[in-house]
């Protein structure tokens, strides 16, 4: 069923699509039926191709806006509006009706090539009083680049950022336009988590395992960019004290469980081997020593092993890949069966992936909005609804019918 309506002020057409999904072939049958890229075996039952599930509550996706350029992040502001980043180097404030309220310009130049550009953004926990924003971007340095994090105050007219300073850089810089990571998230203690990729070349790949490198890591820093108190490697020689975890490939998904406070992360694998991880301080998540994926061209990666002492197993992995970008927990119960479920925006998967988590494992999986044929770049939760942006430049709201 398709319905349309229009905002008279903008003469925009809004498409409302009923998003009923096909039921699994049999109760609990996995949603993935395609051939895996490898013959690797999971480390435990349910680590991949877990039981499928179907939402009992009717829901719908409403297209709020289109022609957004290349959005990368959609983030709720404390006042209930939406903040979007556009990869070419500016932000937008939009109402939950999708209408543009402010375009924010004047940010530092970004290396807008490949996967680079203006990436994630997050408001300060005290944004209501200090109007401070933090954002991640690819910063050009000579003929190379890196992931940087800056902060500044939103001007009173909400059209620019003032008092800008770069608080963190994930060194070393490399010649690459890929795998910047760049997801940002504040902890309940007010410290900032920052994810970085390993830049998708062999030089950067091996540095995922190096504790003196900023590549392939999850960092935990203060608002000033210093190592957060209690970080696991503070005081260790030849180690970056900002590191929280390491051995990551390209982590673009990060959120905290609304009940347990656990930090969950998802990252892109190569050909196969996208991972969902429960992040714990000081732990090694294995890349590129262990992986459930293979090289894009077909050969095995390294010694073709999937388990090794001292390296964490993913809670869940996908083969074929879904390409997990932004993710959020569904923090309410407007749609009861979604409460505390993890929702992941998928690029090559072209759906929102809903995961039910129980006791640190995936107990169910559903593919939402696959009928829209969109590459979903990010997803956010606000007041019982999901807001998601796509690579085609659209903003959708997903809500109960």
Among residues 289, 266, 287, the alpha carbon closest in space to that of 278 is found at 266
Alpha carbon 238 to chain centroid distance?
29
Verify whether residue 102 is a known catalytic residue.
no
Alpha-carbon distance 95 to 106, whole Å? Answer: 22
C-alpha distance from residue 394 to each of 52, 349, 391 (Å):
28, 17, 7
| pLDDT digits 0-9 by tens, 187-234 | 999 999 999 999 999 999 999 999 999 999 999 999 999 999 999 999
Please determine, for residue 21, whether its predicted confidence score (pLDDT) is greater than 80: no
Please determine, for residue 119, whether its predicted confidence score (pLDDT) is greater than 80: yes
Among residues 250, 257, 247, 253, the alpha carbon closest in space to that of 187 is found at 257
| 167 touches 151 (CB < 8 A) | yes
How many percent of the chain have pLDDT more than 70?
93
User: For the ranges 26-40, 359-373, 378-392, which has the lowest average pLDDT?
Assistant: 26-40
Please determine, for residue 10, whether its predicted confidence score (pLDDT) is greater than 90: no
How many domains does the structure of the chain reveal?
1
Residue corresponding to tokens 């049958």: 29
| pLDDT digits 0-9 by tens, 362-374 | 999 999 999 999 9
Please determine, for residue 17, whether its predicted confidence score (pLDDT) is greater than 90: no
In CATH, what number is assigned to the domain containing residue 340?
2.120.10.30
Please determine, for residue 88, whether its predicted confidence score (pLDDT) is greater than 80: yes
CA quadruple 48, 52, 58, 64: dihedral positive or negative?
A: positive
Catalytic choice (102, 179, 248, 351): 179
Q: How is residue 155 written in tokens?
A: 């001007």
- For residue 375, what are the contacts with CB-CB under 8 A and spacing of at least 6? 346, 347, 348, 350, 390, 391, 392
Strand partners, 386: 381, 398
DSSP code string of 166-186: EEEEEEEEES-SS-----EEE
Q: Which domain holds residue 228?
A: 2-400
Q: What is the pLDDT of residue 397?
A: 98
How high is the mean pLDDT of the chain? 94
């Amino acid at each position: 069923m398709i319905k349309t309506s229009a905002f008279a002020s903008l003469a925009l057409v809004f498409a409302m699509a009923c998003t009923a999904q096909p039921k699994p072939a049999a109760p609990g049958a996995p949603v993935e039926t395609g051939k895996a890229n490898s013959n690797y075996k999971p480390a435990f039952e349910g680590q991949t191709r877990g039981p499928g599930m179907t939402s009992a509550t009717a829901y719908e996706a409403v297209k709020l806006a289109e022609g957004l350029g290349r959005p990368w992040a959609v983030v709720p502001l404390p006042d209930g509006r939406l903040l979007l980043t556009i990869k070419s180097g500016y932000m937008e404030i939009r109402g939950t009706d999708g209408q543009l309220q402010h375009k924010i310009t004047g940010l530092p130049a970004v290396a807008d090539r490949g996967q680079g550009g203006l990436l994630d953004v997050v408001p300060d926990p005290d944004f209501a009083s200090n109007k401070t924003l933090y954002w991640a971007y690819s910063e050009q340095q000579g003929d190379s680049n890196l992931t940087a994090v800056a902060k500044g105050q939103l001007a009173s007219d909400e059209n620019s950022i003032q008092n800008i300073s770069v608080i963190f850089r994930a060194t070393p810089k490399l010649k690459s336009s890929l795998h910047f990571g760049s997801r940002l998230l504040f902890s309940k203690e007010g410290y900032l988590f920052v994810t970085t990729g390993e830049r998708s070349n062999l030089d950067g790949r091996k540095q995922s395992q190096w504790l003196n490198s900023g590549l392939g890591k999850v960092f935990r820093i203060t608002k000033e960019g210093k190592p957060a108190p209690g970080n696991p490697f503070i005081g260790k020689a030849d180690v970056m004290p900002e590191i929280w975890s390491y051995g990551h490939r390209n982590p673009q998904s990060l959120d905290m469980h609304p009940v347990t406070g656990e930090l969950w992360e998802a990252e892109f694998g190569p050909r196969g081997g996208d991972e969902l991880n429960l992040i714990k301080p000081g732990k090694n998540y294995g890349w590129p020593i262990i992986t459930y994926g293979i090289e894009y061209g077909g050969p095995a990666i390294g010694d073709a092993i999937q388990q090794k002492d001292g390296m964490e197993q993913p809670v869940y992995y996908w083969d074929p890949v879904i390409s997990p970008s932004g993710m959020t927990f569904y923090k309410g119960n407007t749609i009861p069966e979604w409460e505390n479920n993890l929702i992941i925006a998928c690029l090559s998967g072209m759906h929102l992936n809903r995961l039910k988590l129980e006791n640190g494992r995936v107990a169910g999986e559903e593919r939402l909005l696959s009928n829209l044929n969109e590459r979903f770049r990010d997803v956010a939760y606000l007041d019982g609804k999901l807001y998601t942006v796509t690579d085609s430049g659209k903003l959708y709201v997903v809500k109960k019918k």
